[in-house]
């Protein structure tokens, strides 16, 4: 350390602003090779810089922080001289770690210090066990050692068995982290030894509040403060336990999930629940939400939940406790996805454990189609129930009955829809021979058409037509036939035609012929259009004028999913067969133009 640095440290005073604090920490960072456990000792000062405050903001250090800052200054002034590494001799590195930080010191030739290294664990690493954190600490210390000097051979002293840990299958690392740590630590010139009881660097233990001792990492583990999920193997359950199946389903436009309880002996569905979720819901959230509802469906009984989602089983058995420990944040500090649902599952499982109830969660292979095996059969049943939730017709019914299908009376949601009908609509139903129908002679009744389908109010028919046409953009006749199979409405044709004609996607991407004026048509209301009866001219009248808006055919269209028409554009000049559009230098034939829908009373303009 140069004399200029020591002079700057001697002249340093307690910072009173953010700018001064950053200057002090910057000088400390330059001297970090001389400071034992540097990363852990500057943690108290990070809170003053949280949120990136401006440099002129004032800083008032607490008494403990002022004392810690003075101790850092004193350690820098009294720091021993670092020795230059000898490339012909091995380097001895002592690695320590706590739940937040790690620290290491590299030495040579009977305690001659080469440098101090330290770092802070990421939120993901903080959720690891002590053995796993020590692997990360050793890998990080070796990488920092390589970045500062040429390393002939390294002997690492640690309280954990690194080679046995990396070769075991008990780690909760992802394969990428296992490969990275293995590539760094398991090298021919790196060896590991147990931490000696007495060593010249026990002061790092005191700085890190370190208390771990040597132990066999393959057979025992230091106790961790991980919340207990209460999950037991299915073999520990009594024969009278309940069997629950859960599954999620997702299509391009809809997402939902289902849970059901099945009797293992009779294979009868005891109870079921089907939920429709918002269209932008992910498949993972649907699966984890299904598991939550499945655990709630067990009530106060021992039970097992079967799911074909590896994400659910891995979350419940392994990841949920670690995510909870680190506050449900990612390595970048952002909130973890679906953390509220995962936390709700942990609360339900903890509540069941406190009541003395046993819960199991097992993975089952999907789509086995084996009716003899109750597990495969139940998964097949719940898969069909989940797929029903992605059907627009099912979703439409569910939204009228608290988003789930009634298990006691399947016509109850339809009755809720029919209650919105006006007296004029019910009179029209009666005129069309609709009558009351009771399910198993139990109320409530519904209005049933002689064709065998329920009657649907006009307002509900509009909603259903929009819901069906939104995802598929089916043509008018297909939309009419689809609804007619499920419901009856006297104005069904007009409603479906209006929905399709006002769909901007269908209007833009589907070729239409220009509507023609009937030969003897009369004038419409003012400011819309005028039709004059010139006998002998018939359909030859021009229906667009200068200043109107039209759509122009895309002549450069190269793919089928690209719009056929673009615009609208304003007409500047008009001839009997062509138009000159605004910002266009060439004339365009009338057959390649489509009048804007706002000209006609039967359509609405696109956005």
Bridge pairing between strands 242-250 and 190-194: unpaired
Distance CA 320, CA 574 (A): 69
Please report the beta strands in 423-502, taking only residues with DSSP state E, as ranges in sequence order.
435-439, 442-448
Whether the model pTM is above 0.75: no
- CATH code: domain 234-388 is 3.30.420.10
What is the pLDDT at residue 213?
53
List, for the chain, all residue ranges whose pLDDT scores fall below the cut of 50. 211, 219-226, 400-408, 512-517, 521, 523-525, 527-541, 599-607
Apex 502 CA angle, 497 and 506, nearest 5: 90
Apex 172 CA angle, 98 and 320, nearest 5: 90
Calculate the dihedral angle through the C-alpha atoms of 162, 168, 172, 178, rounding to the nearest 10 degrees: 60
**What number of other Cβ atoms are within 10 A of residue 195's Cβ?**
20
Q: How far is CA 215 from the centre of its chain?
A: 39
What is the pLDDT at residue 306?
94
Tally the residues of the chain.
Answer: 607
Q: Which of 598, 597, 578 is CA-nearest to residue 588?
A: 578
Distance CA 568, CA 581 (A): 10
Distance CA 136, CA 181 (A): 7
Please report the beta strands in 49-151, taking only residues with DSSP state E, as ranges in sequence order.
91-97, 101-108, 112-120
Identify any residues that bridge with 154 across adjacent strands, giving them in sequence order: 91, 190
The string of DSSP codes covering 549-573 is EEEEE-TT--STTS-SEEEEEEEEE
| The residue to which tokens 């294979």 are assigned | 267
Distance CA 291, CA 248 (A): 9
111, 321, 486, 529 from 600: Cα distances, Å: 92, 62, 33, 8
**What number of other Cβ atoms are within 10 A of residue 511's Cβ?**
8
**What number of other Cβ atoms are within 10 A of residue 286's Cβ?**
24
Q: Kindly state the tokens that stand for 303.
A: 């039970």
What is the pLDDT at residue 554?
83
CB 99 within 8 A of CB 122: no
Distance CA 112, CA 85 (A): 9
DSSP annotation of 195 reads P
SS3 of 474, please? coil
23 by Cβ neighbours in 10 Å (0-12 / 13-18 / 19+) ranks as middle
CB 238 within 8 A of CB 227: no
CB 114 within 8 A of CB 106: yes
393-410 in b/e form (b: 16+ CB < 10 A) is bbbbbbebbebbbeeebe
Q: What are phi and psi of 130, to 5 degrees?
A: -65, -35
Give the pLDDT confidence of 535-578 residue by residue, as tens digits. 433 333 456 778 888 888 887 777 777 788 888 888 888 887 88
**What number of other Cβ atoms are within 10 A of residue 122's Cβ?**
16
Q: Based on C-alpha coordinates, what's the Rg of the chain?
A: 37
28, 34, 76, 111, 203 from 1: Cα distances, Å: 12, 8, 9, 19, 22
Apex 488 CA angle, 482 and 494, nearest 5: 75
Fold exhibited by the domain 513-599: SH3 type barrels. (2.30.30)
441: left (phi over 0), alpha (psi -120 to 50) or beta: left
Task: Please tell me if the domain spanning 91-208 has the same topology as the one spanning 234-388.
Answer: no
Distance CA 468, CA 114 (A): 72
Helix (H) or strand (E) holding 8: helix 3-10
Q: Kindly state the tokens that stand for 118.
A: 């330290």
Q: Kindly state the tokens that stand for 582.
A: 């605004």
Q: What are phi and psi of 51, to 5 degrees?
A: 85, 5
Bridge pairing between strands 587-589 and 578-581: antiparallel
Distance CA 517, CA 534 (A): 12
Fold exhibited by the domain 91-208: Ubiquitin-like (UB roll) (3.10.20)
CB 97 within 8 A of CB 139: no
User: For the chain, what are the domain ranges?
Assistant: 3-77, 91-208, 234-388, 464-508, 513-599
Distance CA 259, CA 298 (A): 11
Distance CA 17, CA 577 (A): 77
**What number of other Cβ atoms are within 10 A of residue 465's Cβ?**
23
Distance CA 72, CA 42 (A): 9
Q: Kindly state the tokens that stand for 552.
A: 């122009």
Distance CA 72, CA 24 (A): 11
């Amino acid at each position: 350390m140069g004399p200029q640095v020591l002079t700057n440290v001697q002249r340093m005073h307690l910072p009173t602003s953010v700018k001064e604090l950053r200057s002090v920490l910057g000088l400390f960072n330059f001297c970090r090779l001389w400071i034992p456990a540097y990363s852990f000792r500057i943690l108290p000062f990070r809170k003053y810089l949280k949120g990136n405050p401006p440099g002129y903001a004032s800083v008032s250090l607490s008494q403990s922080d002022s004392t810690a800052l003075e101790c850092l200054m004193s350690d820098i002034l009294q720091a021993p001289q670092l020795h230059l590494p000898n490339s012909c001799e091995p380097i001895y590195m002592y690695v320590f770690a706590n739940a937040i930080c790690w620290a290491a010191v590299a030495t040579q030739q009977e305690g001659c210090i080469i440098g101090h290294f330290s770092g802070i664990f990421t939120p993901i690493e903080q959720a690891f066990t002590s053995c796993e954190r020590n692997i990360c600490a050793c890998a990080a210390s070796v990488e920092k050692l390589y970045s500062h000097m040429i390393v002939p051979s390294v002997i690492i002293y640690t309280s954990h068995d690194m080679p046995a840990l990396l070769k075991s299958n008990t780690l909760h690392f992802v394969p990428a982290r296992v490969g990275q740590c293995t590539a760094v630590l398991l090298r021919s010139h790196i060896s590991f030894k147990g931490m000696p009881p007495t060593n010249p660097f026990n002061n790092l233990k005191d700085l890190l509040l370190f208390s771990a001792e040597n132990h066999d990492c393959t057979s025992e583990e230091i106790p961790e403060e991980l919340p207990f999920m209460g999950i037991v193997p299915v073999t520990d359950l009594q024969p009278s336990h309940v069997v629950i199946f859960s599954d999620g389903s997702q299509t391009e436009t809809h997402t939902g999930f289902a849970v059901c309880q099945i009797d293992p002996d009779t294979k009868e569905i005891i109870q079921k629940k089907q939920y429709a979720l918002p269209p932008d819901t992910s498949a993972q959230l649907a699966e984890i939400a299904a598991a939550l509802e499945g655990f709630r469906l067990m009530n106060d009984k021992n039970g097992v939940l079967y799911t074909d989602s590896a994400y659910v089983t891995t979350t419940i058995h392994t990841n949920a406790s670690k995510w909870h420990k680190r506050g449900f944040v990612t390595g970048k500090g952002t909130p973890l996805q679906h953390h509220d649902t995962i936390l709700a599952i942990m609360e339900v499982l903890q509540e069941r454990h406190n009541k003395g109830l046993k819960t199991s969660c097992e993975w089952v292979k999907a789509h086995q189609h084996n009716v003899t095996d109750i597990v495969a059969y139940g998964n097949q049943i719940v898969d069909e129930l989940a797929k029903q939730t992605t059907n627009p017709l099912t979703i439409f019914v569910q939204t009228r009955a608290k988003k789930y299908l009634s298990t006691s009376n399947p016509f109850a949601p339809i009755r809720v829809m029919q209650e919105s009908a006006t007296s004029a609509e019910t009179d029209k139903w009666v005129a069309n021979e609709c009558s009351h129908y009771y399910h198993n002679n139990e109320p409530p009744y519904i209005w049933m058409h002689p064709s065998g389908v329920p009657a649907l109010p006009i307002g509900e028919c509009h909603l259903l037509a929009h819901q069906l046409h939104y995802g598929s953009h089916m043509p008018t006749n297909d939309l009419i036939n689809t609804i007619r199979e499920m419901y009856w409405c006297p104005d069904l044709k007009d409603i479906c035609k209006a929905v399709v004609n006002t769909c901007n996607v269908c209007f833009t991407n589907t070729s239409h012929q220009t509507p023609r004026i009937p030969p003897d048509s009369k004038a419409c209301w003012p400011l819309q259009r005028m039709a004059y009866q010139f006998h002998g001219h018939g359909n030859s009248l021009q229906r667009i004028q200068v200043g109107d808006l039209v759509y122009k055919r895309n002549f450069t269209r190269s793919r089928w999913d690209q719009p056929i028409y673009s615009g609208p554009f304003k007409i500047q000049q008009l001839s009997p067969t062509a138009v000159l559009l605004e910002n266009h230098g060439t004339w365009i034939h009338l057959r390649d133009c489509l009048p804007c829908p706002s000209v006609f009373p039967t359509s609405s303009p696109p956005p």
